[in-house]
Structure 1
Amino acid sequence: MQKPRTFIYGILLGLLGIVLFSSKAVMVKLAYKYDVDALSILLLRMLFSFPFYVVIAFIYRNKDIGVTLLKKDYTWVVFFGFVGYYLASYFDFVGLTYIKASLERIILFLYPTIVIILNKLFLKKRITKIQAGAIALTYLGIIITFWNEVAISGSNTLLGGFFILLSAIAYASYLVGSGWLIPKFGIMKFTSYAMIVSCFCVFVHYGISAQESIFGYPWQVYLLGLLIAVFSTVIPSYLVSASIKMINSSNFAIITGVGPISTIILAAIFLNETLTLLQFFGALMVIIGIFLVSLKKRNN
C-alpha cells in the first residue's frame, strides 16, 4: 500500500514531466517554420541530449541497489530504448509535419489506454470498472476531436494521426517495460541507458538516410533543438521515470491527460492554433475520463 505523501509527490513529478514533454510538440512546430525536416530536428534533439545522459550514466555507473542484473536485463534496456524513445520520437516528429501540435497531443493520449491494456495482457493487472468506463469516455472524446479535424484539414490529418498512433503504441510499450526495469537499475541509470540507446539509434538513422547536412540552418533551429533537448527531453525523462517508480505505470498513464490541455494552451499562445467548439468538447470528455480514473488512487 502506497503512502499518501509518496503518491502525491509522484503525481506532482509526473505532472511537471508531462507539461515539459508537451511543450516539445510546440517547439518542433516552431522549428518546422524554418524548413527543417523531421529527422534533422530529431537529430539535434538527441545531439544536445546525449552529453547529459552520458555524464549521468557515468556518475551512477557503480550505484548498487542490491539487485543482481542479468544480461537479459540489459537486452531489455536496449529494446525499450529503441522502441520507447527512438521509434516513439521518430513517429511523433513525422506526424507533426502533417497535423497541428494541439491535435498531436490529444491523439497521443491514446497511449495511457494502451498501457493499461498491455499491463493487463503481460503483467496480469486488473482493469477496474472505473478505468474501463473512463477509457471508453476518453476514446470517444479523442474520436470526436480527431474526426472533426479531418473534416477541416483533409486527408493529411489521417496520415499524421497514423504516425502519432504508432508513436503512442511505442511509448506505451516503453512505459510498461520501464515499470519493472526501473527498480532493477534505479531511476537515473535506467533512464540514462535507455536514452543513450535511443540517441545512437537516431545517429545511425541520420547517417544512413540523411540527404542534407545538419549544418546551415538558421540559428533559431539550433536554439530550438537545444531547448527541446534540455526542457522537453532530459529533465522530463527523469521526472517521468521517478513518477512511474512512485505511483506505477498505470497510474502515471492516467495523469498524462494533462498533456493535451497544456499543449492546447501552449499551441494557442505560440502557434496561434485554435480548436473548434466540437474539438473543445472532445477535449473536455478526455479531462472527465482522466478525472474518473484518478479516483482509483483512493483504493491504493
Structure 2
Amino acid sequence: MPDASYSNDDALAARKLLLAGLAIAVVGAILFSAKAIVAKLIYRYQVDAVTLIAFRMLFSLPFFAVIAIWQARQSTPLTGREKIQIIVLGLLGYYLSSFLDFLGLQYISAGLERLILFLTPSFVLLLSVFLMKRKITMIEWSALTISYLGTVLVFVHDVRLGGDNVALGGMAVLISAISYAVYLLASGELVKRVGSLRLVAYAMCVSSVACIAQFFVLRPSSMLIQPVDVYWLSLVNAVFCTVLPVFLTMIAVQRIGAATASQAGMIGPVSTLFLGAMLLDEPITGIQLAGTALVLCGVYLLSRKKAA
C-alpha cells in the first residue's frame, strides 16, 4: 500500500510549482503590458515614436546581445536559410510590430491599445484558417466573436471621445497585432530547430539594429539629447517592460506550459486599464470594463480550447 504522506508531499510540491509558475507569468504579463504606460509618460516630453523606440532598443540591445553571444557559443551554427528567416522574423515580429504599436499609442488610450494587442491569438487562429486551411470549431468562432465585440465596444467609445486620431491609432495597433501574429505563426518550425531563447535573442538584436538605424535615417542625432526623465523612463521601458517580461514569460512556459501561461497573461489588459487610471489619469468607464471583460472571456475560451 503506498504511503499517503508521499502522495500528499508530491501534490503539495506540484501545487507550489504551479503557483510559482503562475506568479511568474502574471508578473511578466503586467510588466509587458506596462510598456504602454511608460510610453505614454515619455510622450509627455514631446518625444515621437521613432525616438521612443530607438531609446528602448538602445537600452535593450546590450542584454539581448550578451544572451545571443552566449547562445551562439554553445549552439550549432545557423544555416544560411535560418539566418535569413531570423532577420525577416526580427524585422516583422519586433521591429514593425513594436514601431506601429508605439505609433498608435500617440493617439489612443493605453487600455484600448492593450485590448487590441490582446486579439493577437485570434489573428493567429484566423491566419491558420486562411493560410493553412485549418478547420475552426464553434467554440473558437464564439471566442473570436466575443473578443471582437469587446474591442469594438471600447473602440467606438474612445472614438466618440477622441475623434479621427483614435481611428488612426487604433489602425496602427491593429496592424501591429496582425504583424506579430504572422511572426508567431512563421516562427513555429524555426523555434523547434533553433530554440526559443536563441531565437528571441537573435530576433531582438535584429529588431534593435533596425530601430536604431531607422532613428539615424529619419531623425538628426541631436534628438538623442533629451531630458533626464526620458532616459530613465526609456531604461525602465527596456529593462522592466521588454527584457525582463520576455524571460519571465519563457520561464513560466517552461514551468506550467504555454496554455496555462497564456491564461495567466489575461491579467495584462486589466492591469493596463488600472495602471492607466492611476498613472495617466485615464478614466475607467463601465463600457471599458464591459469591453475588457468580453475580450478576456474570448481569449480564455481560446486558451481552454488550445489546452484541450
Global fold match (TM > 0.5): yes
Name the residue aligned to 2:38.
Answer: 27
| Residues 259, 306 of structure 2: 8 Å contact kept | no
Matched, 1:286 2:295: yes
Matched, 1:74 2:87: no
1:127-152 per-position Cα deviation (integer Å, ceiling 9, x unaligned): 33322211111111111111111011
Matched, 1:260 2:269: yes
Question: Which among 44, 63, 75 is matched to residue 74 of structure 2?
Answer: 63
- The structural deviation recorded for 1:164 is 0.5
- The structural deviation recorded for 1:124 is 5.5
Name the residue aligned to 2:29.
Answer: 18
CA–CA distance in 2 between the matches of 1:247 and 1:52? 25
Task: From the superposition, tell whether residues 162 and 253 of structure 1 become closer, same or farther in structure 2 (CA, over 3 Å).
Answer: farther
| Residues 121, 299 of structure 2: 8 Å contact kept | no
Question: Which among 38, 53, 73 is matched to residue 64 of structure 2?
Answer: 53
SS at match of 1:62: helix
Matched, 1:190 2:196: no
Name the residue aligned to 2:157.
Answer: 148
Name the residue aligned to 1:39.
Answer: 50
Task: From the superposition, tell whether residues 161 and 298 of structure 1 become closer, same or farther in structure 2 (CA, over 3 Å).
Answer: closer
Question: What letter corresponds to residue 93 of structure 1 in structure 2?
Answer: F
Q: Indicate the larger mover: 249-258 or 15-24.
A: 249-258
Question: What letter corresponds to residue 200 of structure 1 in structure 2?
Answer: V
CA–CA distance in 2 between the matches of 1:249 and 1:173? 18
- The structural deviation recorded for 1:4 is 11
Task: From the superposition, tell whether residues 22 and 148 of structure 1 become closer, same or farther in structure 2 (CA, over 3 Å).
Answer: same
Question: Identity of aligned pairs, percent?
Answer: 38
CA–CA distance in 2 between the matches of 1:253 and 1:165? 20
SS at match of 1:197: helix
- The structural deviation recorded for 1:102 is 1.2
TM-score by structure 2 length?
A: 0.85
SS at match of 1:273: coil
Name the residue aligned to 2:111.
Answer: 102
CA–CA distance in 2 between the matches of 1:297 and 1:11? 18
| Residues 259, 303 of structure 2: 8 Å contact kept | no
- The structural deviation recorded for 1:13 is 4.9
1:161-187 per-position Cα deviation (integer Å, ceiling 9, x unaligned): 011111111111222233332221122
Question: What letter corresponds to residue 96 of structure 1 in structure 2?
Answer: L
CA–CA distance in 2 between the matches of 1:291 and 1:236? 21
- The structural deviation recorded for 1:238 is 2.8
Q: Indicate the larger mover: 240-249 or 168-177.
A: 240-249
Structure 1 gap segments, 5+ residues each: none
Task: From the superposition, tell whether residues 298 and 178 of structure 1 become closer, same or farther in structure 2 (CA, over 3 Å).
Answer: closer
Question: What letter corresponds to residue 165 of structure 2 in structure 1?
Answer: N
| Residues 131, 293 of structure 1: 8 Å contact kept | yes
User: Superposition RMSD on alpha carbons, in Å?
Assistant: 2.8
Task: From the superposition, tell whether residues 125 and 262 of structure 1 become closer, same or farther in structure 2 (CA, over 3 Å).
Answer: farther
Greater C-alpha radius of gyration: 2
Task: From the superposition, tell whether residues 78 and 241 of structure 1 become closer, same or farther in structure 2 (CA, over 3 Å).
Answer: farther
Structure 2 gap segments, 5+ residues each: 1-13
SS at match of 1:98: coil
- The structural deviation recorded for 1:245 is 7.1
- The structural deviation recorded for 1:251 is 7.6
CA–CA distance in 1 between the matches of 2:86 and 2:15? 30
Task: From the superposition, tell whether residues 254 and 179 of structure 1 become closer, same or farther in structure 2 (CA, over 3 Å).
Answer: farther
Name the residue aligned to 1:209.
Answer: 218
CA–CA distance in 1 between the matches of 2:183 and 2:16? 26
- The structural deviation recorded for 1:45 is 0.4
Equivalent residues, number: 295
Q: Indicate the larger mover: 87-96 or 204-213.
A: 204-213
SS at match of 2:224: coil
1:203-260 per-position Cα deviation (integer Å, ceiling 9, x unaligned): 2111111146233311110000000000111112233455667888788666643321
Q: Indicate the larger mover: 256-265 or 147-156.
A: 256-265
CA–CA distance in 2 between the matches of 1:119 and 1:10? 29
Q: Indicate the larger mover: 261-270 or 183-192.
A: 183-192
